[in-house]
Structure 1
Amino acid sequence: MNHKLPQMTQPFLQYTGNETDIIFNKGIELPGFAAYPLMETADGAALLASYYDALVETAREVGAGVILDTFTWTANADRSAPIGYAGERLDTVNRKAVEFAAAAQARAGAVPTIVSGMVGPRADGYAPEMVMSAERAEAYHCRQIAIFAGGGVEMVNAFTIGYAEEAIGIVWAAGKLGLPVAISFTVETDGRLPTGGTLREAVEAVDAATDSAAAYFLVNCAHPDHAAKSWGEGAWMERVKGFVANASRCSHAELDNATELDDGDPRELGGQMAELARRFPHFTVFGGCCGTDLRHIAAIARQLPVAA
Structure 2
Amino acid sequence: MNFTYPLILDGGFATQLEESFQKDLTGTLWSAKCIEDDPDAIKAVHLLYYEAGAHVGTTCSYQASIQGFLNEGYSKEHAIELMRKSIRLAREARDQFITTYPDTQPRYVALSIGCYGAVLANGSEYTGQYGPITKEGLVEFHNRRLDVFMKEPGIDMILFETIPSTIEVEAIRTIVKSRTDLPPVGVSFACRSDDQISDGTLLTTCLDQLDGLPNVFALGINCTKPRFISSLLSIANQHTSKTDKAILLYPDAGAEWDPIGRCWHSDKVTPEAFGKQMAEFTNQYGPKMVVGGCCGTSPAHIQSYLKALSQ
Q: 2:186·2:217 contact (CA, 8 Å) conserved in 1?
A: yes
Contact 1:171/1:181 (CA < 8 Å) preserved in 2? Answer: no
CA distance in 2: counterparts of 1:276 and 1:93, whole angstroms: 37
Task: Give the direction of change, closer, same or farther, for the CA distance of 1:197–1:17 in structure 2 (3 Å limit).
Answer: same
TM-score (ref. length: structure 2): 0.82
Q: Which runs of 5+ in 2 are unaligned?
A: 118-123
Alpha-carbon shift at residue 171 of structure 1 (Å):
4.4
* Deviation of 1:68 (Å): 1.9
Deviating more after overlay: 112-121 vs 162-171: 162-171
The unaligned stretches of length 5 or more in structure 1 are 60-64
Query: What letter corresponds to residue 21 of structure 1 in structure 2?
Result: Q
2:39 paired with 1:45: yes
Measured in 2, the distance between the counterparts of 1:47 and 1:261 equals 27
Checking the alignment, whether the CA contact within 8 Å between 1:171 and 1:213 is kept in structure 2 is no
2:306 counterpart of 1:301:
yes
What is the Cα deviation at residue 177 of structure 1? 4.4
Task: Give the structure 1 partner of residue 77 of structure 2.
Answer: 88
Equivalent position of 1:15 in the other structure? 10
SS at match of 2:192: coil
Q: How does 1:23-172 map to 2 (within 5 A)?
A: 23=18, 26-30=21-25, 31-32=27-28, 34-41=30-37, 44-59=38-53, 66-85=55-74, 87-109=76-98, 110=102, 111=104, 112-123=106-117, 124-130=124-130, 132-152=133-153, 153-172=155-174
Residue equivalent to 1:204: 208
Deviation at 1:20, TM superposition (A): 2.4
**Aligned residues with identical type, % of pairs:** 20
Question: Residues of 2 paired with 1:230 and 1:254: CA distance?
Answer: 24
CA displacement, residues 138-179 of structure 1 (integer Å, 9 cap, x when unaligned): 211112112221112222111101123313423443551421
Letter aligned with residue 264 of structure 1: V
Superposed CA RMSD in Å reads 2.7
Q: How many angstroms does 1:183 deviate by? A: 0.6
**1:32-91, Cα deviation, whole Å (9 max, x unpaired):** 1632321222xx2222111211222222xxxxx622221000002454444434522221
Give matches, 1:132-281, under 5 Å.
132-152=133-153, 153-174=155-176, 176-179=179-182, 180-207=184-211, 211-232=213-234, 235-238=238-241, 239-248=245-254, 250=256, 258-259=263-264, 262-281=267-286
Distance in 2 between the 1:86 and 1:202 partners? 36
Amino acid at match of 1:34: W
Decide whether the 8 Å contact of 1:188 with 1:194 is kept in 2. Answer: yes
CA contact (8 A) 2:162 2:189 kept: yes
TM-score by length of 1: 0.83
The structure-2 alpha-carbon separation of the partners of 1:301 and 1:54, relative to structure 1 and needing over 3 Å to count, comes to: same
SS in 1 for 2:221: strand
SS at structure 1 position matched to 2:199: coil
Output the CA distance in 2 between the equivalents of 1:192 and 1:160: 13
